[in-house]
Amino acid sequence: MGAVVMYGSVSVDGFIADEHDRPGPLFDWLVSGDVPLDDAGVLKVSRASHDYTRAYWDRIGTTVVGRRSFDLADGFGGTPPSGVDHVVVVTHRGAPADWDRGSPFDFVEGIHAALTRARELAGDRIVEVAAGDVGGQALGAGLVDEVRMDVVPVVLGSGRRFFGAVQAPHLLEDPAEAVQGERVLHLRYRVRR
């Protein structure tokens, strides 16, 4: 079974978006280089960011997101992002009424059920959990093996927190990896058990 990884771009002060759900400059690093990161060549990053990020993205089998992220991304246009095979959406509302039931999206209530379904879909590949409230719920429930963050040199001041509303301390191991990219520092931590 693959690892469960909480992932996202984050400001130096710990936010994944401002109070209006806008990421501001948090994704600027994805267009600040000259090495294509995606097949369409829309995303271009530094060589260091490409090597770090592409190797990770290629191992993801399923991504878990909250309904808020799903709605803000307009359902990702019905196509999972970054070449991921499946998306599991944590929601109390179920799929939108006009949603294509044959698309590779599952709508599941509760973080435990979502991670169970995501693991089934991912097999031995990584289950990625989006940072924010859903990621914080997974970390709080002891379901996260690793935390990856792309730290961007900006201070947002307020907004949506990387770890959501986590209430208790959680220890991480020393950084397993730190890679300097253009306008980003990629960090990877194992969660201490």
pLDDT single digits (tens) 99-139: 988 899 999 999 999 999 999 999 999 999 999 999 999 99
Q: What is the mean pLDDT of the segment spanning 72-92? A: 91
pLDDT, tens only, 174-187: 999 999 999 999 99
Would the pLDDT of 37 be above 90?
yes
Q: Residue 1 pLDDT > 80, yes or no?
A: no
**Average pLDDT of the chain?**
95
Exposure on the CB side of residue 112, measured as CA atoms within 13 A: 2
> 175 pairs with which residues across the strands?
none
Q: Provide the pLDDT for residue 131.
A: 98
Nearest of 120, 156, 174, 171 to residue 26 by alpha carbon: 156
- The 8-class DSSP code of residue 184 comes to E
Q: Per residue in 146-183, pLDDT tens?
A: 999 999 999 999 999 999 999 899 999 999 999 999 99
If one counts the domains in the chain, the total is: 1
| pLDDT value at residue 81 | 86
Two tokens, residue 21: 């759900």
Tokens (6 digits) for 134? 């859903």
Question: What does residue 89 show for φ and ψ, rounded to 5 degrees?
Answer: -105, 120
Distance CA(10)–CA(182), nearest Å, equals 15
24: CATH: 3.40.430.10
The proportion of the chain whose per-residue pLDDT surpasses 90, expressed as a percent, equals 88
**Structural domain range at position 49:** 4-190
**Predicted structure pTM score:** 0.95
What phi and psi values does residue 118 have, to the nearest 5 degrees?
-60, -40
Beta strands in 12-159 (DSSP E): 15-17, 35-36, 44-45, 60-66, 86-90, 105-108, 126-130, 146-152
